[in-house]
A and B are shown apart, each in its own frame.
Chain A
Amino acid sequence: MRLGKVKANITSTIKNPYLTGEKIMVVEIINPDGTGTGKEVVAIEKAQAGIGDIVLLMDEGGSARMVLGKDRAPVRAVIVGVVDSINLKKEV
């Protein structure tokens, strides 16, 4: 799993039927120290996250389908948690 920052909300009507009813958001992948990597992914939201939140992002298809409970859903990234705090020991 990776850390991400929610950047935007996506509205899309025409989509794969397995994605109906799912909230879709743009998430930028960040480093544990909070700096951005510039890499953005589209993720299904499953943890009541909002724009600006630091989130736990699962970027793997098999587990993503397990979270959704739909074994033929074409997904890869799912937001599975909203991060409250990060404690990071500085590398020596």
Chain B
Amino acid sequence: MSNPPRLQIESGKVVLTGEWTLAALLPQLPELQSRLAAGGFGNLSWDLSGVDRLDSAAAVLLWRTWNERWPADLIVTETHRRAVERVSLAPAGARSETVTARGPVARVGDLLLGAIDNAVGLVTLFGQMLLDVWHLARHPSEIPWKETAANIYKAGALALPVTGLVGFLIGVTISYLSALQLRSVGADLFIVNILGISIIRELGPVLVAVLVAGRSGSAMTAQIGVMRVTEEIDALAAMGISRSVRVVLPKLLALTVVMPMLVLWASAIALVGGMLSAMLQLDISLTYFIENLQRAVPVANLVIGLTKGVVFGFIIAWVACHFGLRVKPNTESLSANTTTSVVTAITIVILADAVFAINTRNMGIPQL
């Protein structure tokens, strides 16, 4: 700034010179402001003829100094007068900041209403899916094979490394910790039962569900959400293509199909990890482990595990699509819905797991 704003007082006259623009004002704003505020300059005469430029930020500053009145005696060029005039004409109306703190009762009510709203949405989506399946059964040519295949690849094939790695580590950890306990009571051989039942029946499905909810569930919500933000969903509708058939159904189908496979894969790797750990820790040979696995873990456990996979996969995709479709066209809503989607999916999966545990309590437990 070659010509900084200057304020001088000469015999009852306030003389402004220089560039009165926001950029030029900033460096000396506190000083200028305090001088203008202290002066009580409202009644003096003002000379603005030496001002090079006057932008609206500076005009606001002057207008406020003048207490929103034109000074009686003012020398100013026509362009600068217009700048101040615009400020004087602009509505100064306060923007009503209505931030009302809600009481605890209202907040609980909000939560409840929100939950009911979501439940209705989920049921509606489920119903829509049934209608779509019925529709596709009568018009098989419209089945979205390509989209389903793409989703199977994205949610399944690409998830193999991470599910395998986590499964292996969990297998090793459980085997190692159990081995320490079992050895102290001389029950080494029960490591096979512990690992087999816990991993195949319980840990495998839940572990994979948590991973997939974080990995694919969030991606699905975000994808549908962005399609809402960019109006792509509306574009589909405008072409007469059902969004639920083309966008929602492939995700539901793909995750339902792919989850049991992921569960199988992750459980197998976890058992391998457990076996290796048992071999090193308890000197249990691999052959012994595999032979006894069949005896210790009735096949019903595998069926339960895989069924859980199917159900969990469906739940994750269902919840993800529901929250994706609820995204409002702004970034805040997108992030909020993605978070809620993952949290809700995992919560419902755990709930479903509890239901499974209760209803299958008499199945697949070996009689010793």
- Pair from one complex: no
